[in-house]
Structure 1
Amino acid sequence: MLIAAIFIALLLMICINVPIAVALAMCGVIGLFLTEGADSLVTIALDMYGGSTKFSLIAIPMFVLAGAIMNAGGITDRLINFVTAIIGFIRGGLAMVNIGVSLFFAEISGSAVADVAAMGSILIPQMKKRGYSKEFSAAVTSSSASLAIIIPPSIPMILYAASANTSVEQLFVAGVVPGLLGAAGLMLVAYIFAKRYNFPTEAAFNIPRLKETFIDALPAFILPVVILGGIFGGFVTATEAAGLAVLAAIVVSAWYRNINFAHLRRAMLDGGIQTAVVMLLVAASVLMGGFLTRAQIPQQLAEGILSITTQQWAILLILNVFFLIIGFFLHSAAAIILVIPIVIPLITAAGIDPVHFGLVVTLNLAIGQQTPPVASVLITACSVARANIWEVSKVNIWFVGVLLAVLMLCTYVPSVPMFLVEYFYR
C-alpha cells in the first residue's frame, strides 16, 4: 500500500510540473522515513553525493563540451560541405546531408538535443530555402539527431552503464552497427520522400570539389579517431576518451582559426545546465533506489514476471512495450535513472545480457525522443523550423518506423549489435 502511494505521489508531482529530480528525492525521503524512521535520513546527503560522483559520469560534461567546441569552431560547417560533396547530387541530397552530418556529430556530442540544436539551426533554414517543407525539414533533422544516443559516445548509455553496473565501452561498441543501420534506413525514407515530392538536388558530383572539401575537413576527422579508436583499441576508457575529445576539439578549432566565442559561451552554458540536470537526477535517484531496494520492489517485479513467463523473447517484448510507453512521458535520462535499477534483477534472472538490454533500452528511448507529448528532440526541431509539432509528427512517423524496425531487429537478432562486442571483448 505504501509503495503504491509513493508512486502515485511521484506521478502527481510530475504531472503538476514539479522537476523530476525534486519529485524523486522527495518520494525517496518520504519512503525511507516512513519505513525506517528518521535515523535512515542521516546520511542522505553523502549518499546523493556518492551516487553522482561515479568516474564514468564525468564523461557526460566532457562530451557535451567537445560538441560545443566543435560547433563553435567551424568544424560543423566543414563537415556539411564535405558530406554535401559526397551525396548532395542525389535527389533530396540536402536531407541526406542532414542525416550524414548528424551521424558524424553523434560521434562527438552524445546528446540528441545538442545535435538537433546545432544541426537544425544551420540546415533547416537551408532546406526551407531550397523548397523542402518545414514539416519534412524538422522531421528529418529530429529523427537523425536521435542517432546521437545510439552511436557512441552516448550520454544515455553512460547513465545506463552506471545504473546497471555494466561496461560503458561495450555498450558503445554495441551501438555502432544499429546506428549505421538506422542512418541507412533514414536515408532511404528521405530518398522516397524526395522522389515523391521532387525535392531538389545540390551541385553535381565533382571530384575536385570532393577533394577540396575532404582536405578542408581532414583535421575534423581526428575527433572520431580519438574517441572510437581509443575505446575500440582498448587504450582509454570512455571517460578518458571524453577528455581527449575535448582536447582534440580545441586543437582542431585552433587550426581553423575561426572559433565563435559568443557561440561557444552560449553552448557551454547550455551544456552546463544540461549536465547539472542529469547529475541532479542521478543524485535524487539514489534516494529512491535505496527505498525501492529495501522494500525489495525489483525482486518482487522479477518474481512476478517470471511467474508468467520465463521466455526471453516474451520478457523483452513486455519490457519493449513498457519502455516505449514511458518514453512518451519521461526524458531518456529520467527514464533510465528511475526504471533501470528496478528491472535489472529481472534481466539478470532471465539470463539476458545486460549490454544487449542496454542497447534495447537506448533504442526505445531514441524513439521516445520523437513521440509527443514530451519528445524533447522533436520539440527542439519544431522550434527551430517554426512548425506545428503534430504536423511534423505526421511526416516523422515514417522515420520513427525505421527506428522501430532497428529496435525489433536488435532485440530479436542480438548478433546484429553484439558481434562487435564479442569480437573485441569476449
Structure 2
Amino acid sequence: MIEILIFTFIAFLLIGVPVAIALGAASTLAIYFGSHIPLLVVAQKMFQGLNNFSFLAIPLFLLAGALMYEAKLSERLVGMASRLVGRRPGGLANVATTSSAFFGAISGSAPATTAAVGTVLIPSMKKTSYTAAGSGAVVAASGALGLIIPPSITMVIYGVISGVSIGELFINGIIPGILLTLAICLLNWWRGRKNVDNVNLDSENPSPGERFKNLAALLMPVIIIVGIYSGAFTPTESAAVACVYGLLIGIFLYKSLGLTEIKRAFMSTAATTAVIMFLMVCANVFAFVITTERVPQLFSAWVMSITTDPTMVMLMMLGLLIVVGTFLDNVSALVLLVPTLVAITSAVGIDPMYFGVFTIIALAVGQFTPPVGLNLYIAANIANESVEKISLAVLPFVAVYVTALLIFVAFPNLLTLFS
C-alpha cells in the first residue's frame, strides 16, 4: 500500500495537481488497490480531520487579519515604524521590517503581511537608494515574520496536528520573533550604514488622539497573549475576541470599515479557509495510510540507527524542513511532516513544543525562497521586478534565518522560555 501511495502522490505533484487533491487521490488509490480497507474509511477520516474545536481558530484569526487589512491599518503601522527607526541608517528597510513585525502580530499571515506592507513601502523605497529587487527582498523576508510572531495560523495548525498547546506555542513564538526582527534590522543597518534614508514622516508629533488610534491596533496581539496566558480564554476564544475587537475599532475608531470592506474580508477569509480545511481533511486520510503502514516508526528507527544525539537530529530536521519548505507551502509541509517528525524527535527526547516553534521558523524560510515562496511573487508583483532578481537579493536574509535556526539548535531554551 505504501508503494502505491508514494508513487501516485509524487506522480500527481509532477503533473501539477494541487497538493490537497494529490494527497486525497493518492491515499484513496492506495487504500483501494493496496488493502482490504473499505473506501468508507476515506469519508470517515475526512470528517475526523475537521472534527476538532481548535480548528475554529483558523477562520477567526484569518478574519481578524482580513478586517485589519481592509481597515488600511498598514499605513498607520508604517507611520509608527517610521518614527521609531526611519531616521537611522537603513531607515526605509528597517521601517519595512518593523512594520512587518507589527502587522504580522495582527494578521498571523506571511502573504498578508507582505502584501500590506509592500503596497505602502516598496514604491517609496524604489524612489530612494533601493533597487526594485532590494526593496522586494526586504519586504518578502520581513513578511515571513507573520508566520512566527503570534498569533500565527501555522502555530494553530501545528498545535492541532501534534496535540501541543496552541497558547504555549503563541507565547513561545514571541522571543524568536523579536530576535529575528532585530537581526534583520541589524543587517539592514549594516548594508545601509553609509547613508541615512530621507524618510518622509507625515506627522513628526502626532496628536494624542492619533497616538491612541495607532496603539489601538497593537493592543490586539497583547489582548490575545495576555488573555491566553492568564487563562481568561482559550486560543479559539481569543480568535473570536480578536474578530470583535478588529471589527469595533475598524468601524468606530478608524471609521474605515464599511459594508464593502467587511464583505471583502469575509469573502477572502472564506476562500482561504476552504483551501486550508480541504488540505487538512485530505492530509488526515494520508496520515491514516502512513500510520497503518507504520511509516513514522520505521522512519524513526532509521534515524535513530544513524544517531540518537538530539543536536544531530535537529540539524537533520533543519535540512529537511528547509528543503521541503522550498518546494511546498507551509501548511502542506506541516500536514505532511509533523506526525512523522514529532514521533522521531520525541523518541530522542526533544520537546514537541520546542520542535514546533523551530519547525515554524524553518518553514518560514520557504516563504521567500524559490520556486514556491509566495512572498517572493507578491513582492515581485508590487515591485514590478522579476522573481529571479529578487531571489538573488533575498539570499542575505536567508542567511540570517538559517543562522538564527542554528543558534536555536545550540540554545534550545530560547524557544521554550515560557513553557
The TM-score with structure 2 as length reference comes to 0.94
Aligned to 1:147: 145
Q: Distance in 1 between matches of 2:191 and 2:115?
A: 23
Aligned to 1:424: none
Does structure 2 conserve the Cα–Cα contact (< 8 Å) formed by 1:59 and 1:239?
A: yes
Q: Distance in 1 between matches of 2:235 and 2:138?
A: 29
Aligned to 1:125: 123
What pairs up with 1:391-406 in 2 under 5 angstroms? 391-406=389-404
Distance 1:412 1:320, change over 3 A: same
Aligned to 2:13: 14
Does structure 2 conserve the Cα–Cα contact (< 8 Å) formed by 1:139 and 1:395?
A: yes
Aligned to 2:26: 27
Q: Distance in 2 between matches of 1:207 and 1:118?
A: 23
What is the CA distance between 1:264 and its match in structure 2?
4.5
Consecutive unaligned residues of structure 2, counting only runs of 5 or more, are: none
What is the CA distance between 1:10 and its match in structure 2?
0.8
Does structure 2 conserve the Cα–Cα contact (< 8 Å) formed by 1:174 and 1:359?
A: yes
Q: Distance in 2 between matches of 1:416 and 1:59?
A: 26
**Residue identity in the other structure for 2:73:** I
Q: Distance in 2 between matches of 1:205 and 1:109?
A: 25
1:251 corresponds to 2:248: yes
What is the CA distance between 1:206 and its match in structure 2?
8.5
1:307 to 295, 305, 308: 305
Aligned to 1:328: 326
Consecutive unaligned residues of structure 1, counting only runs of 5 or more, are: 422-426
**Residue identity in the other structure for 2:162:** A
Aligned to 2:290: 292
Distance 1:260 1:186, change over 3 A: farther
What is the CA distance between 1:288 and its match in structure 2?
0.8
1:279 to 269, 277, 280: 277
Aligned to 1:186: 184
SS in 1 for 2:193: helix
What is the CA distance between 1:370 and its match in structure 2?
1.5
Distance 1:206 1:119, change over 3 A: closer
What is the CA distance between 1:212 and its match in structure 2?
6.7
Pairs aligned (count): 418
User: What RMSD over aligned residues (CA atoms) do the two structures have, in Å?
Assistant: 2.0
Q: Distance in 2 between matches of 1:109 and 1:221?
A: 11
What is the CA distance between 1:404 and its match in structure 2?
1.0
Q: Distance in 1 between matches of 2:157 and 2:49?
A: 11
2:102 to 96, 101, 104: 104
1:45 corresponds to 2:36: no
Aligned to 1:195: 193
Q: Distance in 2 between matches of 1:216 and 1:19?
A: 42
What is the CA distance between 1:211 and its match in structure 2?
5.8
Aligned to 2:233: 236
Q: Distance in 1 between matches of 2:215 and 2:296?
A: 49
What is the CA distance between 1:275 and its match in structure 2?
1.5
SS in 1 for 2:205: helix
**Residue identity in the other structure for 1:243:** A
What CA deviation, in whole Å up to 9, does each residue of 1:212-258 have, x standing for no partner?
Answer: 75234132233122212112222222111111111110111121112
**Residue identity in the other structure for 1:143:** A
Does structure 2 conserve the Cα–Cα contact (< 8 Å) formed by 1:90 and 1:201?
A: no
**Residue identity in the other structure for 1:29:** T
Identity %: 31
Which of 231-240 and 146-155 deviates more? Answer: 231-240
Distance 1:206 1:116, change over 3 A: closer
What CA deviation, in whole Å up to 9, does each residue of 1:346-388 have, x standing for no partner?
Answer: 1221111001011111111001112111111112111111111
